[in-house]
A = this chain, B = another copy of it.
Amino acid sequence: MQHARPSRPEVTRIITLSTRPAFHGSGAVSFSTKGEYGVRLMVQLGRHFGTGPASLAEIAAEEDLPRAYLEQLAMGLRDAGLVVSTRGAHGGYELGRPPSDIRMSEVIRALEGPIAPMICASDDPEHATLCDRASNCTVNILWVRVRDAITGALEGMTLADLVPLRLPPMNLETPTNKTLQGAVTRS
């Protein structure tokens, strides 16, 4: 995906940004870059919270992401009411609410759409279509359980849980990580 700029100056293309992996979660149940970049965008906005709008150019530089692509994501987030935009010079985006009021489930839904591991198990009733096999389908409960597990995990975290910058450690492993319990098994 190393965007061949139209010019394409012959062979001089070395490795360049080789290593942006093609698909970011390559196995089952993966998020797309929309989800990844969008969350990182939101985290940056969280760090800037209270200091007026931050421009996408700024954030793109901080996170090393393509600015033009962030625009798409930002618009989705804006339409969902999660961020507020200010146009013109010194404009940019800022969070619509404090980070602790923004559930990660909202963020993901704004970026990627309803959480639906299978079409018969969408959390958006508008969007869920009953499968024709409903009458003899015993499999559905599996997808519903997976969906509920995912939404539970996303619902249980807010942007505030992700915003803290990892400091140059005076003390590592401070328990300031509020509510996080068990579950994580940091690998």
The answer to whether B28 and A118 touch across the interface, beta carbons within 8 angstroms, is: no
Cβ-based interface call for A129 (8 A): yes
Cβ-based interface call for A77 (8 A): no
The answer to whether A116 and B150 touch across the interface, beta carbons within 8 angstroms, is: no
Name which of A2-10, A51-59, A86-94, A175-183 contacts chain B: A175-183
Q: How many copies of this kind of chain does the complex include? A: 2
The answer to whether A118 and B36 touch across the interface, beta carbons within 8 angstroms, is: yes
User: For the complex, what is the distance from the CA of A144 to the CA of B137, rounded to whole Å?
Assistant: 31
In A140-173, the 8 Å CB interface with B consists of 140-146, 148-150, 152-154, 156-157, 161-166
User: For the complex, what is the distance from the CA of A39 to the CA of B182, rounded to whole Å?
Assistant: 27
Taking beta carbons and an 8 Å cutoff, which residues of A are in contact with B? Answer: 13, 16-17, 19, 21, 24-31, 35-36, 39-40, 43, 104, 108-109, 111-119, 121-122, 124-125, 127-129, 132, 135-146, 148-150, 152-154, 156-157, 161-166, 177, 180-187
- Assuming the contacts A128-B187, A164-B138, asked whether A25 and B152 have C-beta atoms less than 8 A apart, the reply is no
The answer to whether A142 and B119 touch across the interface, beta carbons within 8 angstroms, is: no
The answer to whether A27 and B142 touch across the interface, beta carbons within 8 angstroms, is: no
The answer to whether B129 and A21 touch across the interface, beta carbons within 8 angstroms, is: yes
Residue of B nearest to A140 (CB): B177
